[in-house]
């Protein structure tokens, strides 16, 4: 299961009669916390990209976290509707049901816990999620699949580009780069329009991880990273470098995005024809 389940440890202690009210309050608070845990786990199932996994796996995931909640019976005494909702999930997910039906159930029946759409991987991190593919919503009405890195430097990183084995051809035209392409489970480009929507909605830091064939690793971070809208031809604003990979990207600050069919660099040649789509001032310095 791709959501970390935090188990609650029961504290055993004895109290005098005058402390019974405090004990009851403690138990009610503890039970509320356990209900919240179940809701968070269900929300994690909603947020995580489950389309590539069958219903049997979803059922197994659901049963798994319920099994680990040793006090499940106590919890549902406080919330009978939650018990019925979860029971319905387990009964209806017998393999012949499509995954979309289960997701719709979670969205509309289980206390609306799937109603919230995560804008990016930083928001998904709040639900104790691990690294993997998730559906994010840079634009509230339009979702996109992205890989979330929950391990590097504290986690919560939304991966906008991943390349490592040349399994995907990155020499793409303007429209493909705008909408995104590749395999989100492998090599891919998120899409300029999605990166714009992300970086125009808040303050974002860019991190670039480089690994060579000998597994030597370098990185670069930029505290300022903004990609403009389509009208600006996805103009790059970048600054605040730190790291050990060297700062090659700041040179291209202020440049429009270039592709094989749209030359926006300042060089006499189209840099994208040889280097692939990117932000270029000239063809001599490329990250």
More confident: 169 or 2: 169
Lowest mean pLDDT among 23-37, 131-145, 227-241: 23-37
More confident: 222 or 20: 222
DSSP 165-233: SS-S-----HHHHHH-EE-TTSSEE--HHHHHHHHTSS---EEEEEE-TT--EEEEEEEEEEE--GGGT
* Residue 104: band (very low, low, confident or very high) from pLDDT cuts 50, 70, 90: low
Q: In the chain, pLDDT over 70 holds for what percent of residues?
A: 59
Average pLDDT over residues 213-222: 90
Domain boundary among 60, 89, 115: 115
Residue 283's alpha-carbon distances to 163, 166, 273, in angstroms, are 20, 21, 10
* Domain-embedded: residue 153: no
* Domain-embedded: residue 94: yes
Average pLDDT over residues 230-246: 96
Q: What is the pLDDT of residue 127?
A: 76
Q: Model confidence over 115-157: pLDDT tens digits?
A: 557 899 999 888 777 898 888 999 888 889 999 999 999 999 9
Average pLDDT over residues 11-21: 35
What domain range includes position 102?
A: 69-115
More confident: 258 or 92: 258
Its sign, for the CA torsion 182, 185, 187, 189, is: positive
Asked if residue 268 and residue 185 are part of one domain, the reply reads yes
Asked if residue 106 and residue 169 are part of one domain, the reply reads no
On the question of pLDDT at 73 being above 90, the answer is: no
On the question of pLDDT at 251 being above 70, the answer is: yes
The average confidence (pLDDT) of the chain is 74
Residue 269's alpha-carbon distances to 138, 185, 201, 253, 264, in angstroms, are 34, 34, 34, 19, 10
* Domain-embedded: residue 11: no
Average pLDDT over residues 275-282: 94
* Domain-embedded: residue 142: no
More confident: 37 or 183: 183
CATH code of the domain in which 165 resides: 3.90.215.10
- Within 14-120, where are the H helices? 20-47, 55-68, 72-78, 80-92, 99-108
Q: What is the CA radius of gyration of the chain?
A: 24
Q: What is the pLDDT of residue 207?
A: 94
Asked if residue 256 and residue 181 are part of one domain, the reply reads yes
Residue 226's nearest CA partner among 235, 215, 217 is 235
Q: What is the pLDDT of residue 118?
A: 86
Asked if residue 261 and residue 172 are part of one domain, the reply reads yes
Phi-psi map region of 182: left, alpha, beta (phi>0 left; psi -120 to 50 alpha): left
Q: What is the pLDDT of residue 234?
A: 99
Asked if residue 258 and residue 180 are part of one domain, the reply reads yes
Q: Give Cβ neighbours of residue 97 (< 8 Å, ≥ 6 apart).
A: 55
* Domain-embedded: residue 212: yes
Domain boundary among 115, 148, 175: 115
On the question of pLDDT at 197 being above 80, the answer is: yes
Domain boundary among 83, 115, 147: 115
280: tokens are 């270029």
* Domain-embedded: residue 197: yes
As beta bridge partners, residue 257 has: 279
The H-or-E segment that residue 10 falls in is: none
On the question of pLDDT at 35 being above 70, the answer is: no
Asked if residue 193 and residue 111 are part of one domain, the reply reads no
Instruction: Indicate the number of domains in the chain.
Output: 2
Lowest mean pLDDT among 42-51, 137-146, 194-203: 42-51
On the question of pLDDT at 93 being above 90, the answer is: no
Q: What is the pLDDT of residue 28?
A: 47
pTM as predicted: 0.67
Q: What is the pLDDT of residue 24?
A: 47
The H-or-E segment that residue 1 falls in is: none
Q: What is the pLDDT of residue 126?
A: 83
Asked if residue 184 and residue 247 are part of one domain, the reply reads yes
* Domain-embedded: residue 10: no
Asked if residue 168 and residue 80 are part of one domain, the reply reads no
DSSP 254-285: TPPEEBTTB--SSSSS-HHHHH-SEE-S-SS-
More confident: 80 or 31: 80
Average pLDDT over residues 252-262: 98
Say whether 137 sits in a helix, a strand or coil: strand
Average pLDDT over residues 83-99: 53
* Domain-embedded: residue 155: no
Asked if residue 169 and residue 239 are part of one domain, the reply reads yes
The H-or-E segment that residue 239 falls in is: strand 236-243
Asked if residue 181 and residue 102 are part of one domain, the reply reads no
Asked if residue 240 and residue 187 are part of one domain, the reply reads yes
Asked if residue 263 and residue 190 are part of one domain, the reply reads yes
């Amino acid at each position: 299961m791709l959501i970390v389940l935090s188990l609650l440890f029961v504290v055993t202690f004895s109290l005098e009669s005058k402390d019974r009210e405090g004990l009851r309050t403690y138990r009610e608070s503890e039970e509320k916390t356990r209900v919240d845990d179940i809701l968070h786990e269900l929300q994690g199932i909603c947020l995580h990209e489950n389309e590539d996994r069958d219903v049997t796996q979803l059922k197994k995931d659901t049963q798994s976290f319920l099994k680990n909640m040793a006090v499940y019976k106590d919890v549902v005494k406080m919330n009978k509707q939650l018990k019925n909702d979860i029971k319905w999930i387990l009964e209806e997910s017998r393999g012949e049901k499509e995954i979309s039906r289960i997701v719709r159930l979670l969205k509309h029946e289980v206390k609306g816990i799937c109603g919230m759409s995560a804008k990016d991987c930083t928001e998904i991190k709040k639900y104790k999620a691990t690294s993997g593919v998730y559906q994010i919503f840079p634009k509230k009405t339009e979702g996109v699949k992205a890989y979330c890195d929950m391990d590097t430097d504290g986690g919560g990183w939304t991966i906008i580009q991943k390349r490592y084995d040349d399994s995907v051809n990155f020499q793409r035209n303007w429209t493909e780069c705008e909408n995104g392409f590749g395999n989100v489970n492998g090599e891919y480009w998120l899409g300029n329009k999605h990166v714009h929507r992300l970086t125009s909605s808040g303050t974002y830091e860019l991190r670039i991880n480089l690994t060579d064939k000998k597994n030597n690793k370098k990185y670069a971070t930029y505290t300022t990273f903004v990609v403009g809208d389509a009208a600006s031809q996805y103009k790059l604003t970048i600054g605040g470098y730190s790291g050990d990979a060297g700062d090659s990207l700041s040179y291209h600050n202020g440049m429009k995005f270039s592709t094989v069919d749209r030359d926006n660099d300042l060089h006499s040649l189209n840099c994208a024809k040889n280097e692939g789509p990117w932000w270029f001032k000239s063809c001599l310095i490329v990250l």
